[in-house]
Amino acid sequence: MVTTQKILLSSLILSITLLPLSSCKEDDPTDIETYDFQPILNHLAQHVITETYVDLHAKSISLVSAVTTLQTSPTAINLEAARQAWRDTRKPWEQSEGFLFGPVSTKGIDPSIDSWPVNVVDLEAVLGSGAVLSKEYIDGLEGTLKGFHTIEFLLWGEDGEKTVDLFTAREFEYLIATCQSLESNTNDLQNSWNVTGENFQSEIAEAGEDGSMYVSQKSAMQEIINGMIGIADEVANGKIYDPLSQLDVTLEESRFSANSKADFIDNIRSIQNLYAGLYMISGDGVTTFIVSENSELNALVEAQMQNAIDLIDAIPGTFTEAIFENPDAVTAAQESVRQLQETLQSQVKPLIDAI
Amino acid sequence: MLILSMSMLLLCMFIYSCTTDPEITNWYNEDEYAAGGATTLYEATSGAFSTPAPNLSATAFEKHMAGDVSFESIFVTAPATNNAGLGPIFNDVSCVSCHTLDGRGDKPSVFRVSIPGTDAHGGPNPAPGFGGQLQDKAVFGVLPEGKVDINYVEEFYKYPDGSSYSLLRPVYAISDTYISLPPGTMLSVRAAPPVFGLGLLEAITEADILAAADEFDLNGDGISGKVNYVWDVVSATAKIGRFGWKANQPHLDQQTAGAFSGDMGITSTLFPTESAYGQIQDDGMGDDPEIDFEFLDITSFYTKTLAVPAPRGLEKPNVMLGKQLFFEIGCENCHRQKWTTGIATGIPELSNQTIYPYTDMLLHDMGPGLADNRPDYLASGSEWKTRPLWGIGLTAVANGHTRFLHDARARNLEEAILWHGGEAEKATTAFKNLSAGERAALIAFLEAL
């Protein structure tokens, strides 16, 4: 019987001198990599992902300001300004849905920002109660009583036709408090990625190094690609397909604001941003690797991303109307996103898995 | 020169070991990468616990994906067009809100309560006015049943080699109850466990589990693995308990329906009665069951058919050493490495799979340190079911934390080991007596799983 001490000693020597020979299994997931993904990972983490969250937070500050102005001066113009501020904030959020990993998931931030459906029964009950509608009060509520869709419901109303004279004083108070709560959640999110904060970006940028959460650069790249595939799947087979196939508008996510088409396009842009390595500052992206492996595939992905955006944009009218009046256009858009998902899943990902 | 010649010798041994030498190859087994058999996922990403098994048929995949939507569905107060029926009292609003990315919760989220005695089927005796679970949240206008205050006392210890460690001992107290708590109420605090690989564990045959049991320690090894027998509401008979921290659920349909009911206040075909029934805050809406059989079925199916993540780096020397120690000091006596599943009815993808879950599916006395002092069917107040260890090293990447044990008190794997008492006391003592390097190797092995 070999003693433990001897094994330990031999282990140390083995690890120093014989590591390359020590693998008996060729498809071991921790095989030594043959491509240096660090520049891609670094740029995506530092610029694309973190900057999207920084942008989201900046826009949410403007949203608080817009709803505060609306309360002070409830005019049709200020209502439209508040709605535009909501759309402006929604945009970077939807562009972040290609990377729903890390703190947004593990810290439970997503439900506070983007829960759906809205708990209308409880919302009406809270508005009808004497509860003090402070940010702290809203912070303590479930996600279905705050975040984007609650704000959307308050700004547009159930049928999307709410006018400024229909707002109650309590609704203004609720709007301001829930926008402040959103601002604080988006701040938490950008802080969790920022180098000046909890610096989660280093987990991606330094993947494979000692003490890193990701055992290899390849794992971090798989994380990125999975995020892209995941949102393509969600848009094609959930967000578009469910309301379309069941002809049920209540399954449409941004229905009150008629913002669904913009949501879908920004989701595809999220994929595009990771692929191209572009969010304000251009740099390495997934394309850097794919071009080096298969330039035809690279062209196909670029064309399919643009095609999906174009076909969603080409859906006439609102998404709500289109599922009834132009189902063919909606189906074509859905199909284009599904094709993109298929290419990412069956052609792009295997190139990374093979490293 | 000595080092060099030793290296040469070891090199020869090692190359040899990959082929024939049983003495060395014992601690590296290539087959173990397929921890979940054909359901194994070879990826170490945040999706490690939340990816469909790769071997699902097209039909099974479609059902799984439908179940994925159910598992993520956020419930709201009735009446509502979508996802109605939350509460009126609850612990959370969706499955994923506790099982983050289908994984492990970083804090307690469910609070079981009961009073002395048993119910009609030998299970915990519900606390009048509170039932079997304390719901700490409620829809607007309804009072939560109460809340659980958690205080951690940090205790400092030393290993025999002089290095120090500390443990957080939780102290729980129930406060702000909506009515007075019955005298003698017992409390058991639980965090959400991961939900992948469960269909494989369900497919282990009863005969195999019974063969592994040794309730009266007839083999004299100090370990008395015990089977829990619990009430099955489907067959209306007592069955072997397999799921839950105390093995108090016989199958995943009941586990899932129980969670819908107890954790979210969602009634189903299996549990059609509101958790608040008979209490002054019952909504009395008569809208039960709030989810139909199909919704329950696909949600349960989802947890049955998630992939099991593969281990990483099993051939690394310190991981092999850690595995050897894991076996030698007795961890594997309960955290049983290997099983072969039987027939999974209706899910051939899970049948006849060789799996490496590191659990014996049995109850063990874990000592006073971990005891909740609340019996659950045949499980005593200090008995817990051996947790599977597969995928445990991916908790950080999938769930963003490393809190372990039934109430998430352990801040890392080392603390989780050190809390083991009772039947595991001997193994824990042996762990403490290892050198620092050996302890690190054992943990490296767990992190590789």
Q: What ipTM did this prediction achieve?
A: 0.89
Query: Look-up: residue for tokens 């050996």?
Result: B438
Q: Could you give the CA distance from residue B392 to residue B308 in angstroms, rounded to a whole number?
A: 11
Q: Could you give the CA distance from residue B17 to residue B26 in angstroms, rounded to a whole number?
A: 9
Q: What does the pLDDT average to over A172-179? A: 98
Write out the two tokens for B65: 């994906």
Inter-chain touch A18–B400, beta carbons under 8 Å: no
Q: Could you give the CA distance from residue A165 to residue B294 in angstroms, rounded to a whole number?
A: 45
Over the Cα atoms of chain B, what is R_g?
Answer: 23
For residue A21, pLDDT beyond 60: no
The pTM assigned to this predicted structure is 0.90
Share of chain B above pLDDT 90, in %: 90
Amino acid A138 reads: I
Task: Outline where DSSP puts E strands in B77-219.
Answer: 89-90, 110-118, 124-125, 137-138, 147-158, 164-175, 186-190
Write out the two tokens for B214: 């040794």
Q: What does the pLDDT average to over A297-305? A: 98
Q: Is A307 exposed, middle or buried (0-12, 13-18, 19+ CB in 10 A)?
A: middle
Please give the interface size between A and B, counted as residue pairs whose CB atoms are below 8 Å apart.
Answer: 158
Answer yes or no: are the C-beta atoms of A255 and A249 closer than 8 Å: yes
Inter-chain touch B82–A28, beta carbons under 8 Å: no
Q: Which residue of B has its CA nearest to A229?
A: B47
Of B296, B306, B270, the residue nearest B388 (C-alpha):
B306
Q: Strand pairing of B339-340 and B89-90?
A: unpaired
Inter-chain touch B45–A129, beta carbons under 8 Å: no
End-to-end CA distance of chain A: 39
Of B119, B389, B144, B46, the residue nearest A105 (C-alpha):
B46
How far is B411 from chain A, CA to nearest CA, in Å? 16
- Report helix, strand or coil for B190: strand
Q: Which residue of A has its CA nearest to B438?
A: A8
How far is B439 from chain A, CA to nearest CA, in Å? 11
Answer yes or no: are the C-beta atoms of B43 and B366 closer than 8 Å: no
pLDDT band with cut points at 50, 70 and 90 for residue B26: confident
Of B206, B231, B382, B22, the residue nearest A1 (C-alpha):
B22
Q: Could you give the CA distance from residue B429 to residue B441 in angstroms, rounded to a whole number?
A: 16
Q: What does the pLDDT average to over A4-15? A: 34
pLDDT band with cut points at 50, 70 and 90 for residue B252: very high
Name chain B contacts of A119, Cβ cutoff 8 Å. Answer: 76-77, 80, 86, 139
In the Cβ-directed half-sphere of A7, how many Cα atoms lie within 13 Å?
Answer: 24
Q: Could you give the CA distance from residue B164 to residue A198 in angstroms, rounded to a whole number?
A: 28
Beta-carbon contacts of B123 under 8 Å, excluding residues fewer than 6 positions away, are B230, B231, B248, B376, B377
Q: Could you give the CA distance from residue A136 to residue A133 in angstroms, rounded to a whole number?
A: 8
Q: Say which DSSP state B81 is in.
A: S
Q: What does the pLDDT average to over B292-318? A: 97
Give CB contacts under 8 A, 24+ apart, made by B28-32: B28/A24, B28/B314, B28/B315, B28/B320, B28/B323, B29/B314, B30/A24, B30/A25, B30/B314, B31/B354, B32/B311, B32/B314, B32/B337, B32/B356
pLDDT band with cut points at 50, 70 and 90 for residue B25: low
For residue B23, pLDDT beyond 90: no
Name chain A contacts of B147, Cβ cutoff 8 Å. Answer: none
Inter-chain touch A117–B80, beta carbons under 8 Å: yes
Q: Could you give the CA distance from residue B80 to residue B34 in angstroms, rounded to a whole number?
A: 44
How far is A117 from chain B, CA to nearest CA, in Å? 7
Write out the two tokens for A213: 């959460």
Inter-chain touch B438–A4, beta carbons under 8 Å: yes
Q: Is A59 exposed, middle or buried (0-12, 13-18, 19+ CB in 10 A)?
A: buried
Query: Look-up: residue for tokens 């609704």?
Result: A171
pLDDT band with cut points at 50, 70 and 90 for residue A210: confident
Vertex B396: Cα angle to B390 and B399 (nearest 5):
90
Q: Is A35 exposed, middle or buried (0-12, 13-18, 19+ CB in 10 A)?
A: middle
Q: Which residue of B has its CA nearest to A130?
A: B141
Inter-chain touch A111–B435, beta carbons under 8 Å: no
pLDDT of residue B16: 36
Sign of the C-alpha dihedral, residues A247, A249, A251, A254? positive
pLDDT of residue B283: 76
Inter-chain touch B43–A29, beta carbons under 8 Å: yes
Answer yes or no: are the C-beta atoms of A276 and A299 closer than 8 Å: no
pLDDT of residue A88: 98
Of B376, B422, B356, B399, the residue nearest B192 (C-alpha):
B399
pLDDT digits (tens, 9 = 90+) for A129-138: 999 999 999 9
Write out the two tokens for B245: 């921290």
Q: Could you give the CA distance from residue A147 to residue A133 in angstroms, rounded to a whole number?
A: 15
Of B84, B128, B90, the residue nearest B111 (C-alpha):
B90
Over the Cα atoms of chain A, what is R_g?
Answer: 23
Answer yes or no: are the C-beta atoms of B110 and B91 closer than 8 Å: yes
For residue A18, pLDDT beyond 90: no
User: Closest to A226 (Cβ–Cβ): which among B45, B97, B317?
Assistant: B45
Inter-chain touch A144–B437, beta carbons under 8 Å: no
The residues that bridge with B187 in the sheet, in sequence order, are: B113
Q: Which residue of B has its CA nearest to A142?
A: B93
How far is A62 from chain B, CA to nearest CA, in Å? 29
Specify the higher pLDDT residue, B9 or A208: A208
Q: How high is the mean pLDDT of chain B?
A: 93
How far is A331 from chain B, CA to nearest CA, in Å? 20
Inter-chain touch B438–A8, beta carbons under 8 Å: yes
Answer yes or no: are the C-beta atoms of A350 and A227 closer than 8 Å: no
pLDDT of residue B282: 85
Question: Given its phi and psi angles, is residue A157 left (phi above 0), alpha (psi -120 to 50 degrees) or beta?
Answer: left
pLDDT of residue A280: 86
Answer yes or no: are the C-beta atoms of B52 and B36 closer than 8 Å: no
pLDDT digits (tens, 9 = 90+) for A242-275: 999 999 999 999 999 999 999 999 999 999 999 9
pLDDT digits (tens, 9 = 90+) for B180-219: 999 999 999 999 999 999 999 999 999 999 999 999 999 8
How far is A122 from chain B, CA to nearest CA, in Å? 6
Write out the two tokens for B395: 């908790």
Q: How high is the mean pLDDT of chain A?
A: 91
Q: Which residue of A has its CA nearest to B107?
A: A107
Q: Please report, for residues B207, B227, B389, the alpha-carbon distance to residue B211 in angstroms, rounded to integers and kept in the order given.
A: 6, 10, 21
Query: Look-up: residue for tokens 């990959």?
Result: B18
Answer yes or no: are the C-beta atoms of B201 and B253 closer than 8 Å: no
Q: Which residue of B has its CA nearest to A140?
A: B137
Q: Could you give the CA distance from residue B426 to residue B429 in angstroms, rounded to a whole number?
A: 5
Q: Which residue of B has its CA nearest to A21?
A: B15
Inter-chain touch B47–A143, beta carbons under 8 Å: no
Inter-chain touch B315–A25, beta carbons under 8 Å: yes
pLDDT of residue A22: 36
Write out the two tokens for B264: 């979210």
Answer yes or no: are the C-beta atoms of B16 and B8 closer than 8 Å: no
Query: Look-up: residue for tokens 């370990």?
Result: B223
pLDDT digits (tens, 9 = 90+) for A35-63: 999 999 999 999 999 999 999 999 999 99
Q: Could you give the CA distance from residue B146 to residue B304 in angstroms, rounded to a whole number?
A: 33
Q: Could you give the CA distance from residue A144 to residue A115 in angstroms, rounded to a whole number?
A: 5
- Report helix, strand or coil for B389: coil
pLDDT digits (tens, 9 = 90+) for B62-119: 999 999 999 999 999 999 999 999 999 999 999 999 999 999 999 999 999 999 999 9
Query: Look-up: residue for tokens 């599943």?
Result: B341
Q: Could you give the CA distance from residue A142 to residue B237 in angstroms, rounded to a whole number?
A: 38
pLDDT of residue A34: 84
